[in-house]
Structure 1
Amino acid sequence: MLAVACASQFMVVLDISVVNVALPSIRDALGFDEAGQQWVVNAYALTFAGLLLLGGRLADWYGRRKIFVTGLALFAGASLAGGLANSATLLVVARAVQGLGAAVLAPATLTILTATFAEGPARTRALATWTAVGIAGGTAGNLVGGVLTEYLSWRATLLINVPIGAAAILLTMRYVHGDRPGPQRPRLDVTGAVLATAGLGVLAFGIAEAANSGWSSSSTIAGVVVGTVLLAAFVVVEARWAAMPLIPLGLFTIRSVSVGNVTMLLAGACLNPMWFFLTLSMQNVLGYSPVETGLAFIPHTVVAIVIGTRVTPWLMRYADGRVIIAAGSLLAAVGFWWQAQLSVDSGYLAGIFGPAVVFSIGSGLLNTPITTAVTSGVATADAGAASGLMNTTKQIGGALGLAALVTVAATNDTGPVALIGAYDRAFYVIAVIMVAVAIVALALPARRD
């Protein structure tokens, strides 16, 4: 079960990053502009984030294995459509449908683990493995995307999911046991799902518009205001009218869940967008090829996996989880500040490798304790909702963080010096947010395994 769940999570996270290295090729092939290319990433991320809550509840209501297989089929089918797309619009739509499949699939992977492993060291080890696989998927996506883009085509970065998805379905039917759905006949909270997705999408659009038109433009203001209103309406619907809400509001009375998700939101706003800006820095400024860019990301994977799977679970037996998260966040902030010193003359060791080691150690330390915190003290019947909420806050942070950081890194000059100055500004902001993560983490309840 652990192997199948982690393999599927690897594929979901892989697809968040696999297109990053291919973005310049996709832009040239389908006619995206500099600001518009973020929607190849955000169409997936926003749909994923907006529907994760519904996806998490589906696993509780209809059974984990059934929903797991459904998510795999949706994901693989949308990957096929995206790989064959011949226009920017069709690709963005396909990426959005991929996000739908991922929203159904990802919570089920975590729900399978939390339902299988009891709280304590066994669950911590399982979650550490699941988290490390997610980190590996993010970084492997850059390497795989680089190899496929350079030697085949950017289309292969999407088509590769088709055989992987088919194999995962077969393994799931063979190794993951069927489970009984919840006792209640579900009434799906479609209204809540639509409001959440629409609110996040419109809010991200408004923030992204600031990069083109400025914060005082009517499109930016309208996007931010309408998106905020839709999200407020979502909260009201969940609290007052939803018969079976996507988020049982009682979850927020658990301090580890409420504070942990705020921590996850802020961390997601840093750790997800940094792949986007690193890729552009290496290809647009340092002149790396897609394969060279992918290879340059290997230290990020190796360091984060070693720290996340070996060091962090051991530390969690002896140290307070809050302290580990805070220390990891501060270390990551130092790494991102170092990354912000990149210039057109930087070599690989000082410009990419050194910062990578520092902030990857930090991210490896903080991911597992946050994941453990937000799934602790939750009843089994609400495990899917808690898993969906955690994944949602992480993806919301990543999508909104990317939209906001694109405005920070906006520039009309496409020369290497201007571009690297813009990307460095984004890394300075990421470093500041990581300090905020450390401060918020101290509000978590004390915990050690």
Structure 2
Amino acid sequence: MTSVILALLSAAQFLLALDYSIVYVALPGIARDLDLDIAAAQWVVSAYAVPFAGFLLLGGRLADRVGPGRLFLGATLLFGAACAAGGLAGGGATLLAARGVQGMAAALLQPAILGLIGARFPAGPARTRALSVWGAVGASGLAAGVVLGGVLTRYNWRWTFLVNVPVAVACAAGAAVWLLSAGRDARPDPGPVSPALLGTGAAFGASLGLTLNNRLGWALVAVAAVLLVLTRPPRPRSLRIGAAAAALYMASVGSEFYVVTLMLQDRDGYSPLRAGLAFVPLAAMLTVGSSLTDRLVRRLGATRTLSGGFALAALGLAWLAVTARPALPALLISGLAHGIVYTSMFNVGASDVPAERQSSAGAVMTTAQYLAGAVAIAALTLPLRNSAYSAAFWATAAAAAAGALVALRRPATA
């Protein structure tokens, strides 16, 4: 039964990661068919990312209160309906609204998945193994989205949305059968909601403000900073380290896809399909790295594994900075490190968190991850506008090196 549940949760995570990156190469076709200018077309990405990052904390609190299994079922159905609406959209406003609903559904689904892993797999080898499998499938979804997006866009960009619908329906059916039918959903936690609401306001304001990148945007960031001060910080030290690691992950190897995609298409003139296929070696090593994490944690401990993964990422990204080319060895090294970091950071971050708060803990780390992604994209825009790809890769390598140092602050015996 546990293997079936893990497969179900991994499939849902694959869906979330896939949908984050699958529209990248479809944007030109979407803009052309729906008569969108460049600024509006970029919101096809942002309309998903902003609600995703902004509502994660609220999603985590809801999962703790109503039970992650129930929230998983509802969020999966909402996600599938939004994907269908996006694929059938006849205008830009409809598509952007559908993407916004997708982002909100993802913000509910992600903490529900992590809460179910925390509730169904006890801390120790069982949870480490579950996180390794979940991480391998989920992290590969981010790379697979770029590849699959290039293939589907050759036929019609609408398939980048419609392809998600049958997967969402299958996940919802699996939740009804294996997560709820036996009445084994986690006991609701009646803890306070106000910290989650304050955190949600801070996260949403910061993510929207960084996306707008104008006067209104910076005013929203200032309001978000005030709300963040009023929000109680996470108490378990492991969770603080995990959130910092998640932020530095997204600022390093998590931003690698964005920089390499621009390098291949804007500088080197790759077609969307060819650019997508160029990510296959990196995606393969990413899956290998996630699969190896279980053995590495058992041998070295979660802290040393996380720090070593960041150090390996710094090496691969520095190699790309020196060559300013998508060198295959550098992509393989950074891909391997990507898988190790992605999986082990959740292992470290949730180690001191009780089972009934796993959803909220996962939401904190994922919020840090996606907010850092917005900051990283904003910071990388200037060098990338000037085609300074080497400088962009040096910045991501520095973030990876910082992650290696942050991870070592966690006692190795945790």
Judged with a 3 Å threshold, the aligned counterparts in structure 2 of structure 1 residues 196 and 376 are, in CA distance, closer, same or farther, namely: same
Following superposition, the deviation at residue 395 of structure 1 comes to 1.5
Following superposition, the deviation at residue 122 of structure 1 comes to 1.0
Letter in 1 for 2:30: I
Q: What is the root-mean-square deviation of aligned Cα atoms in Å?
A: 2.4
SS in 2 for 1:447: coil
From 271, 279, 286, the equivalent of 1:304 is: 286
1:26 matched residue in structure 2 = 30
How many residues in Structure 1 have an aligned counterpart in Structure 2? 407
Which structure 2 residues correspond to residues 46-125 of structure 1 after superposition, within 5 A? Answer: 46-125=50-129
1:314 matched residue in structure 2 = 295
Letter in 1 for 2:218: V
1:331 matched residue in structure 2 = 312
From 364, 368, 375, the equivalent of 2:350 is: 375
Which structure 2 residues correspond to residues 230-309 of structure 1 after superposition, within 5 A? Answer: 230-236=224-230, 238-239=231-232, 249=233, 252-309=234-291
Judged with a 3 Å threshold, the aligned counterparts in structure 2 of structure 1 residues 406 and 230 are, in CA distance, closer, same or farther, namely: same
Letter in 2 for 1:175: W
Alpha-carbon displacement from aligned partner over 1:124-167 (angstroms, at most 9, x marks no partner)? 000011111111111111111111001x2112111111122112
Judged with a 3 Å threshold, the aligned counterparts in structure 2 of structure 1 residues 112 and 270 are, in CA distance, closer, same or farther, namely: same
Structure 1 unaligned residues grouped into runs of 5+: 210-218, 240-248, 412-420
Which structure 2 residues correspond to residues 399-418 of structure 1 after superposition, within 5 A? Answer: 399-411=374-386
CA distance in 2, matches of 1:390, 1:85: 33
User: Do the aligned residues in 2 keep the contact of 1:21 with 1:290 (CA within 8 Å)?
Assistant: yes
From 199, 222, 229, the equivalent of 2:205 is: 199
User: Do the aligned residues in 1 keep the contact of 2:144 with 2:283 (CA within 8 Å)?
Assistant: yes
From 212, 223, 228, the equivalent of 1:229 is: 223
User: Do the aligned residues in 2 keep the contact of 1:82 with 1:91 (CA within 8 Å)?
Assistant: yes
Q: What is the TM-score of this pair, normalised by structure 2?
A: 0.90
SS in 2 for 1:107: helix
User: Do the aligned residues in 2 keep the contact of 1:17 with 1:275 (CA within 8 Å)?
Assistant: no
Residues 1:182 and 2:188 aligned together? yes
Q: What is the TM-score of this pair, normalised by structure 1?
A: 0.84
Following superposition, the deviation at residue 175 of structure 1 comes to 1.9
Following superposition, the deviation at residue 35 of structure 1 comes to 5.9
Following superposition, the deviation at residue 88 of structure 1 comes to 4.0
CA distance in 2, matches of 1:257, 1:194: 18
Judged with a 3 Å threshold, the aligned counterparts in structure 2 of structure 1 residues 31 and 166 are, in CA distance, closer, same or farther, namely: same
Alpha-carbon displacement from aligned partner over 1:306-337 (angstroms, at most 9, x marks no partner)? 12213x22121221433322222122122222
2:402 matched residue in structure 1 = 436
Alpha-carbon displacement from aligned partner over 1:191-249 (angstroms, at most 9, x marks no partner)? 4365134412343135x44xxxxxxxxx2xx522431323322441x44xxxxxxxxx4
SS in 2 for 1:127: helix
Residues 1:159 and 2:141 aligned together? no
Structure 1 stretch 103-112 or stretch 301-310: which is displaced more?
A: 301-310
Judged with a 3 Å threshold, the aligned counterparts in structure 2 of structure 1 residues 187 and 256 are, in CA distance, closer, same or farther, namely: closer
Following superposition, the deviation at residue 30 of structure 1 comes to 4.2
From 344, 354, 369, the equivalent of 1:394 is: 369
User: Do the aligned residues in 2 keep the contact of 1:74 with 1:98 (CA within 8 Å)?
Assistant: yes
Structure 2 unaligned residues grouped into runs of 5+: none
Following superposition, the deviation at residue 399 of structure 1 comes to 2.2
Letter in 2 for 1:113: I
SS in 1 for 2:55: helix
CA distance in 1, matches of 2:352, 2:167: 34
Letter in 2 for 1:91: L
Following superposition, the deviation at residue 400 of structure 1 comes to 2.3
User: Do the aligned residues in 1 keep the contact of 2:245 with 2:406 (CA within 8 Å)?
Assistant: yes
